[in-house]
Structure 1
Amino acid sequence: MSLKRLGPVAAMVLVAGNMIGSGIFMLPATLGTIGSVSLIAWGLASLGALLVALVFSFLAQIRPEADGVVAYAAEGLHPAAGHVSWFAYWLNCWVGTVAVAVAATGYLAYFFPVLKAPGVSTFATLGVIWGLTFINLIGPRVMARYGAATLILGLAPIALATIAGALAFNPEIFAASWNVSGKPDGVVITASVAPIFWAFLGLESAVVAAAVIENPRRNLPIATVGGVLLAAVIYMAASAAIMGLAPASVMAASTAPFADAIKGFAGPIAASVVAFCALAKASGTVGGWVLVTAETSRSGAAAGYLPKMASEVNPDRKPTRDILVAAALMSVATIASASPTLGAQFTTLINVAVILSMILYLLCAAALLRLSGEIEGPRRWAATAAAVLGGGFCAWVIVTSDHALRTPTLLIVALSLALWAATRFRGRLKPA
């Protein structure tokens, strides 16, 4: 039985749904140590996300038959670059999904404070991951419907916070929290772009899951750019609103920042509703990323990067093995990243996830720069501009990110190249 595929609207929901998750619901806590000056960084991150989305849109039109993001760098640059992009993204899928699951646990802890305790929070996060894995095992269309339903629920508290911010926006709170870091504005704005970009990770979801999308040449650009624009508008409105509702110090200490911000304006019942909706949305995002991780594993196995026995390489069949392997790897990442607090675990995970994604995005931009020659007319220059600007943005984020992550980033690239060389050597040893 052939697999039913997603249309443009469902694919755009997948993209927007994978982005509008823990990024908007947990980042106020991470950015609480910086202040409302981070709103400028939100604008820069939104612009960069749109540039990267354009990179993927042009690549999807040039290579609509490409097997996800793996093939872009491999065909546009070199097979070794393809392996690096796949490996970085594959690792990012584990790390990023765990971060979203941690965010879900944080909002669940709003109702059950015991979940904030080390160890207990780890088990709760594992429960979130495996619960959404079960939904994915039913089928991608069921997961898409679940994601759409939770997206609607997730938009409810964002809309409430935006309305509350418009009605009860306190300029004094906003101004007092402008920059609580003690560092120059330019320094903190630059440093904020990387963690903020976490909220946009997932913009390539439709491209990664191309095998389950109808008419990819037409639908992938619509889903990618449309999903980013939708998320950017929501992010900017909600961020500006919440910064005028609660001081930065309150946000920094919270595991459920949207709920705590609403609590002071509308009371504990409204805050509980917000926490529930945020929990539902974060869980939907986990489910979407489990599917994307499974498709990334499948495309990697098809390219020879993973043992085929661990994957379902036929895109017309449900990737059951890939989903189970993805959940197992996420479980390992959950245990390995366990920290004294949920906030500390979340911050560590998102910083690692952003750098891993930037490696992929930079390589895809470089691939577009080479492949843009296949486009005729003015669109060729537009594709070239998108490649240069998008790649430049990615390089800038990598250079200005946490310096402690630079050496591990180089080690990941080196390890990927070593693994690629090993697969090529192994292939040569096989009898013809």
Structure 2
Amino acid sequence: MSQRAGGVAADAPSDTAAARGLGPFAATFLVAGNMIGSGVFLLPASLAAIGSASVIGWAVASVGGLVLALVFALLGIMRPDVNGLVRYPADGLHPIFGFVSWISYWVASWVGNVAIAIAAVGYLAVFLPGLIGPVATLVTTLVIIWALVAANLWGPRVVVWLAASTLMIGLIPILAAIGLGVLHFDPDIFWGSWNVSGQPLSKVVPGSLVMIFWAFMGLESASVAAAAVDNPRRNLPIAALGGVALASLVYTTATAAVMGVIPAERLAASTAPFADMVAIAAGPIAGAVVAACALAKTLGTLGGWVLVAAEAGRVGAASGYLPKALSTRGVRATPVRDILLVAVLMSLAALATLSPTLTKQFNALINASVLLILLVYILCALALARFASGIEDPARRWVTRLIGLVAAAFCVWMIVASL
């Protein structure tokens, strides 16, 4: 899954802090870095059922992602708050929408975590092929989930170390796919896999957007960056748009490169598309190295997101959304009960989505997670449209309101197109 933002409420930056803040270049890479994670590692195999025409879906999703990033950048300028995904709907619309936003985000977190674990199984299977199969995949997924749960129970420092140590490693599969894909790109393979389903592109492309948007989760980090950015009114929109554009370019290029080397029929059966592509282009040893890098990154991402989901549960319990008996009290204490609750829920999600193939299970999980996050995005976009009424300048007020409404409409369209 892509990196997603979270934390505790932040105050508006002071003049002194702003003077030492991030410039537009650094802030752009902050937003892009929060997006570029493990979310894309299985997507080429998922999109193979559509074909290389999915690059059109990437372009459409990129436009929508840019508008949504601008929504969160504006929210970050107007109301800097790292808990904004809950606070914006509650303050801008109605307190009940704060609960809706929280429950959607919380459920999406632990459902999405299972998808990350599934991706890890796929790349682990490069070394242990016997792991592929409904029962074997389920058992391995549960082992991975509970291993990362144990790391979280050991302490946050273990999880932080794991996430930090695998951060740059995760770029190797993507960069290798882009570099080798350019050198070994075969137009015949790419165009031969253009539209596998044979259905009109007007139906195929919109239907692929929810799946593609799995890689865009994390774009909301633009609002969190407000407190760390120098001159946020000018630089935050630049960072938001630039970060999403950079991540979109990397993802689209990597996916196109894979689809220009591996035919769609073979790609659809892959459990480790980036490793398979590199193995074709540079040999099995290089493919194994890429698989190991992808595996390490997915484990690092999963470890961090178990903690994020647990902390989201603790926030919910503190707000009265969950029974407090299910949560660990004390902000500084390790959220043991919250971690165990999330672990049980992830295990149940893995069992409930058990499928004949790993890719089918992955698709079901990411679709559910993205649909829930899109609901959060809709509420935040509508909240921006409401907050715009406080802007004195008429032109800025109407432009801000229009951005919020367009972003909300885009998310609604994606949800409808996926049905």
Question: Which TM-score bucket, shorter chain as reference?
Answer: 0.7 to 0.9
CA contact (8 A) 1:70 1:300 kept: no
Q: What's the TM-score once normalised by structure 2's chain length? A: 0.85
CA contact (8 A) 2:9 2:82 kept: no
The one-letter code sitting in structure 2 at the alignment partner of 1:170 is D
Instruction: Work out whether 1:394 is the aligned partner of 2:411.
Output: yes
**Counterpart secondary structure, 2:367:** helix
Partner of 2:386: 370
The one-letter code sitting in structure 2 at the alignment partner of 1:400 is A
Q: Quote the offset at 1:179 in angstroms.
A: 0.9
CA contact (8 A) 1:4 1:141 kept: no
Partner of 2:341: 325
CA deviation profile, 1:16-64 (whole Å, cap 9, x unmatched): 5664344311011111111111001011112212222222222233332
Q: 1:225 to 1:279 in 2, by over 3 A?
A: farther
Partner of 1:411: none
The one-letter code sitting in structure 2 at the alignment partner of 1:156 is I
Partner of 2:270: 254
Q: Quote the offset at 1:394 in angstroms.
A: 0.4
Distance in 1 (alpha carbons) for counterparts of 2:350 and 2:254:
29
CA contact (8 A) 2:119 2:298 kept: yes
More deviation, 305-314/239-248: 305-314
CA deviation profile, 1:324-382 (whole Å, cap 9, x unmatched): 32222212211221222211111111111121111111111111110122345465444
CA contact (8 A) 1:101 1:125 kept: yes
Report the structure, 1 or 2, having the larger helix content: 1
Partner of 2:78: 62
Q: 1:117 to 1:66 in 2, by over 3 A?
A: closer
CA contact (8 A) 2:72 2:221 kept: no
User: 114, 127, 131: which one pairs with 2:130?
Assistant: 114
User: 398, 401, 405: which one pairs with 1:384?
Assistant: 401
Q: Quote the offset at 1:149 in angstroms.
A: 2.9
CA contact (8 A) 2:73 2:240 kept: yes
Partner of 1:293: 309
Partner of 2:258: 242
CA contact (8 A) 1:68 1:296 kept: no
**Counterpart secondary structure, 1:110:** coil
Q: 1:198 to 1:338 in 2, by over 3 A?
A: same
Distance in 2 (alpha carbons) for counterparts of 1:116 and 1:11:
40
The one-letter code sitting in structure 1 at the alignment partner of 2:366 is I
More deviation, 89-98/138-147: 138-147
CA contact (8 A) 1:17 1:151 kept: no
Instruction: Work out whether 1:49 is the aligned partner of 2:65.
Output: yes
User: 361, 365, 382: which one pairs with 2:377?
Assistant: 361
More deviation, 68-77/391-400: 68-77
Q: 1:215 to 1:144 in 2, by over 3 A?
A: farther
The one-letter code sitting in structure 2 at the alignment partner of 1:73 is P
User: 166, 169, 173: which one pairs with 2:189?
Assistant: 173
Q: Quote the offset at 1:286 in angstroms.
A: 1.3
Partner of 1:160: 176
Q: 1:313 to 1:58 in 2, by over 3 A?
A: farther
Partner of 1:86: 102
Partner of 1:95: 111
The one-letter code sitting in structure 1 at the alignment partner of 2:417 is T
Distance in 2 (alpha carbons) for counterparts of 1:244 and 1:201:
26
CA deviation profile, 1:163-203 (whole Å, cap 9, x unmatched): 11111111111111111111112221111111111111233
Instruction: Work out whether 1:20 is the aligned partner of 2:39.
Output: no
Distance in 1 (alpha carbons) for counterparts of 2:8 and 2:315:
18
Task: Map 1:244-283; keep pairs closer than 5 Å.
Answer: 244-283=260-299
Q: Quote the offset at 1:386 in angstroms.
A: 2.5
CA contact (8 A) 2:22 2:229 kept: no
CA contact (8 A) 1:60 1:217 kept: no
Q: 1:333 to 1:296 in 2, by over 3 A?
A: same
Q: Quote the offset at 1:11 in angstroms.
A: 9.8
Q: 1:288 to 1:18 in 2, by over 3 A?
A: farther
Structure 1: segments with no counterpart, 5+ residues: 404-432
Partner of 2:3: none
CA deviation profile, 1:42-101 (whole Å, cap 9, x unmatched): 111122122222222222333324734112111111112222121222211121111111
Distance in 1 (alpha carbons) for counterparts of 2:66 and 2:403:
9
Distance in 1 (alpha carbons) for counterparts of 2:77 and 2:151:
31
Q: Quote the offset at 1:391 in angstroms.
A: 0.7
More deviation, 369-378/149-158: 369-378
Distance in 2 (alpha carbons) for counterparts of 1:158 and 1:81:
37
Q: Quote the offset at 1:288 in angstroms.
A: 2.8
Aligned length: 396
Percentage of pairs with the same residue? 52
CA deviation profile, 1:243-282 (whole Å, cap 9, x unmatched): 2111111110111111111221111111111111111111
CA contact (8 A) 1:19 1:285 kept: no
CA contact (8 A) 1:338 1:345 kept: yes
Partner of 2:18: none
